[in-house]
Amino acid sequence: MTHREGALTRFLRFFSSLKLGLTLLGFLGVTTIAGTLILQRPMAEEGQIEQVYAPQTIRLLDALGLFDVFHAWWFLVLLGLLGTNIVLASLERFPQAWRYFSRPHREADEWYVRRLPVVREIPLGVVKPEAALATAASVFRRKHFHPHPATLAKGTIYVEKHRTARLAPYVVHSSLIIIFAGAIVDGVWGYKGYVSLGPGMSVERVEPAGPRGVSRPLPFTLRCEGAGMEKYADGSPKQYWTQLVVEENGREVLRKRIHVNEPLTHRGIRFFQSSYGSTGVPTQLEIEASWLNGKTPLQKITLRPDQPILLADGSRIQLANFVPDFVLEGNQISTRSNDPNNPAVHLALTQPDGSRASVWFFSSSPQMNYPADPGIRFRLQGVEMGYFSGLQVAKQPGKGLIWGGCLMLSLGLMLALYMVHIRIWGIVTRDARGKAILLLGGHPNKYRHSFQEQFNKLADAVKEEFRVSVAVAQPERIPA
């Protein structure tokens, strides 16, 4: 039993050691830097990782979980180990700090005061020994140091400031544990994903941001009522926007137009405007039709997908295919992008006699048109494209813990850096020559040089008061 207790003690001592804490903190810092330098799948655009890294590198980084560091199991384990180290180290050292905080040592004798790091002997001068403590106490109060009244009645001046500074390390430790807990909650129950919406579309699931992710259901329906792009005067893009509506049980509960820096948040899920672009599919085409026989007048029509149009001569046309950015590769027609930079239109034409014809015409290359077969020449006047809005989705259930921990960390650092726990004791005794003196001693928990200056100014003020004072305060108990 003793051996087992000894092993447990050694294990706890190792787990609470500063050496292990620094090692874990170093690993955490390295992995955090790696997560900053390496593209992360939740934030990368589609195909971006494949463009930046070689296939072998992608396989290696995927195997190590470095494409999603902050959700990797080993990163969460590392946070848990470091948090455990902080808890055990704090529990080991807390009792001493709490003793300083809860049971301060107020009464002192000459032996105790003379062994303090900062000591001054102040001759009483004309002040009688029984009045010295009261006179010194009045000086302390003028300098905003308030002696403890019960201790003063027992023959000791005791002043203390900023006792809470003793607890600053534990405030910092607690804040780090809260931050780690929030990060672990995010890593286990949080996610990041992507939604692509066009006007009139609704979604109830979020697609994963990476290939290893899973589609996740939304606790509501998200509908897009519109999307667009605001431009500067020169025509360059200014910002993208999306009009979103949240519905629950068929009822609208929230409506908001989001921009890049103005997300929509509902039930802890945030939707960010991340991209905007053409779907490659037109919503309507403005077409001019002219007949080669010269008998039928020119006709301008608005053609929409899946909506046939009757022409003036009784023919019927319907959109069969649309290539937004036409390019000919060998004998194959393909597109370079989804933007209508060089449109090619394929129409299915049914003539009045029932015969069918297939017509291609090209906006930028009219010489490639085929007007002879149907006897009609078509020319594209304008096109309105369908556009999609790309939304990044983030659920971070631990965000509140992380923000609360950060605020607590700021408070702890302010306590640790800017507040000094100072204690000063004073007793009336005699020096080596037998003359009555006020013996002052002080102890700061840090910044001794600054405290030394403050202590000397206080002692000088008491010394000056003794020099000019002739009044006798109420008697105090004086040691023999």
pTM, two decimal places = 0.70
Instruction: Give the H or E element holding residue 34.
Output: helix 18-37
Q: What is the DSSP code string of 332-388?
A: EEEES-SS-SB-EEEEEEE-TTS-EEEEEEESS-GGG---TTTSEEEEEEEEEEEEE
Q: What is the mean pLDDT of residues 381-385?
A: 89
pLDDT in the model for residue 480: 42
Task: Name, in order, each residue with C-beta under 8 angstroms of 56's C-beta and a sequence gap of 6 or more.
Answer: none
pLDDT digits (tens, 9 = 90+) for 100-155: 788 888 999 999 999 999 999 999 877 888 889 999 999 999 999 999 999 999 99
Confirm if 129 and 478 have CB atoms less than 8 A apart. yes
| Backbone Cα Rg of the chain | 40
Give the sign of the dihedral formed by CA 432, CA 436, CA 140, CA 427. positive
Give, to the nearest 10 degrees, the angle between helix 2-15 and helix 73-102. Answer: 100
Is residue 158's pLDDT more than 90?
yes
pLDDT digits (tens, 9 = 90+) for 42-81: 777 667 788 888 888 888 888 888 888 888 889 999 999 9
Domains assigned to the chain = 2-100 (no CATH), 105-162+420-468 (3.30.310.50), 188-279+389-408 (2.60.98), 280-385 (no CATH)
pLDDT digits (tens, 9 = 90+) for 419-464: 999 999 999 999 889 899 999 999 998 999 999 999 999 999 999 8
